[in-house]
């Protein structure tokens, strides 16, 4: 096991390491950690880039040379890594630091490993499935603005095949083939073009009684009376979520791991997108690919709580494995737009969803 024969805690803490090894042994096989983090219980004389330094009292700012700083006091834990700050609130078990070491060793980014460590409960390693899957034990993301009153309108729990398309012409073509959920991702800075493409797409959605989402351009989506909008994590800070909710426009939010899922759920969106599952070239991703094992765990935690959409690098070859996780929808791009025969590609993908029912 990869925790053995290396420095996990500093100063050396045999009891913490022993518990961490026991927890890690019950978490299953995961890719080797890209960064071998060392959890420092005091500040080393010469901090290193792979040191995560823990303070039990408030500490303002970074420690020169260290990779990350963790401030834990009361029911609040704050992680600082460079300019990024992640604040969580909730109960902590006695084993949370050992669990943190174990989840870091599973190659989770520190903020996601911390989220899982705070969800861990002492003795969980004795269960048949030791992975944290009880939503009630997970922490809350702190310091978020209030969610829109009443939340967002619901959408179907299983959105099915979800093509993300570059133009209204593509939206019309795909809806004509029987698809009932799609997204217009129009990459244009021309306001007239955006207004025209969005209005045309929304009209196509109405004709087909389809779930048509507009990527990013929430103001134009409201003006056109769109079924929904899809926003990224960064857009939550700038978009007027209350205006979107009051307009009766549904909201889908992108997430890239446990912390972002909890952050997104605070706003009570209509669905969560989970990704990128596989490498993708259609847009620059802020995180490495999640993979099927993580997707399966996300679905296990959130299924029945909010509709879920797998996204990122999904094509016909991997679609059966994606659907086997239990996710109710999968977004595709090139599997439709670059297919030699669009109708045949859509029909084949639709059949894969039908076989899962």
Which positions make up the binding site?
Answer: 183-187, 215-216, 235, 254, 280-283, 313
Number of Cβ within 10 Å of residue 266's Cβ equals 15
Return d(Cα 33, Cα 107) in angstroms, integer: 4
Return d(Cα 120, Cα 269) in angstroms, integer: 26
Return d(Cα 250, Cα 267) in angstroms, integer: 12
Return d(Cα 75, Cα 129) in angstroms, integer: 26
* The pair of three-digit structure tokens given for residue 17, joined into one six-digit string: 């390491």
Nearest Cα to Cα of residue 354 among 155, 157, 160, 156: 160
- Residues paired with residue 206 on neighbouring β-strands, in sequence order: none
Beta sheet of 140-141, edge-to-edge order: 9-10, 38-40, 51-55, 68-73, 76-81, 84-89, 140-141
What separation in angstroms does the CA of 66 have from each of 20, 87, 351?
A: 22, 19, 51
- Binding-site members for Mg(2+) are 216, 235
């Amino acid at each position: 096991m990869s925790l053995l024969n290396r420095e996990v805690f500093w100063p050396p803490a045999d009891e913490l390491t022993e518990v961490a090894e026991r927890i890690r042994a019950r978490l299953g096989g995961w890719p080797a950690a890209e960064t071998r983090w060392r959890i420092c219980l005091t500040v080393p004389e010469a901090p290193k880039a792979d040191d995560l330094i823990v303070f039990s009292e408030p500490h303002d700012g970074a420690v020169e040379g260290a990779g990350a700083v963790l401030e834990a006091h009361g029911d609040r834990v704050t992680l600082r890594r460079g300019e990024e700050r992640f604040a969580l609130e909730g109960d902590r078990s006695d084993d949370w630091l050992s669990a943190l070491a174990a989840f870091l060793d599973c190659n989770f980014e520190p903020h996601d490993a911390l989220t899982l460590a705070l969800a861990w409960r002492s003795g969980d390693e004795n269960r048949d499935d030791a992975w944290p899957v009880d939503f009630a034990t997970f922490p809350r993301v702190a310091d978020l603005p209030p969610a829109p009153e009443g939340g967002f309108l619901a959408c179907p729990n299983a959105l099915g095949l979800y093509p993300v398309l570059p133009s209204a012409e593509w939206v019309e073509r795909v809806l004509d083939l029987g698809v009932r959920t799609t997204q217009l991702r129009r990459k244009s800075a021309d306001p007239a073009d955006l207004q025209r493409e969005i209005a045309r797409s929304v009209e196509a959605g109405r004709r087909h009684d389809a779930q048509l989402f507009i990527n990013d351009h929430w103001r134009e989506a409201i003006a056109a009376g769109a079924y929904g909008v899809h926003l990224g994590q960064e857009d939550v800070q700038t978009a007027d979520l209350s205006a979107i909710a009051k307009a009766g426009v549904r909201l889908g939010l992108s997430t890239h791991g446990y912390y972002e899922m909890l952050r997104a759920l605070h706003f009570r969106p209509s669905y969560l997108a989970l990704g990128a599952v596989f490498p993708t070239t259609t847009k620059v991703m802020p995180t490495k690919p999640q993979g099927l094992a993580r997707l399966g765990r996300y679905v296990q935690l959130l299924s029945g709580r909010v509709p879920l959409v797998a996204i990122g690098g999904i094509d016909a070859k991997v679609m059966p494995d994606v659907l086997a996780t239990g996710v109710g929808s999968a977004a595709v791009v090139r599997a439709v737009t670059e297919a030699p025969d669009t109708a045949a590609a859509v029909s084949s993908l639709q059949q894969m969803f039908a076989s899962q029912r």
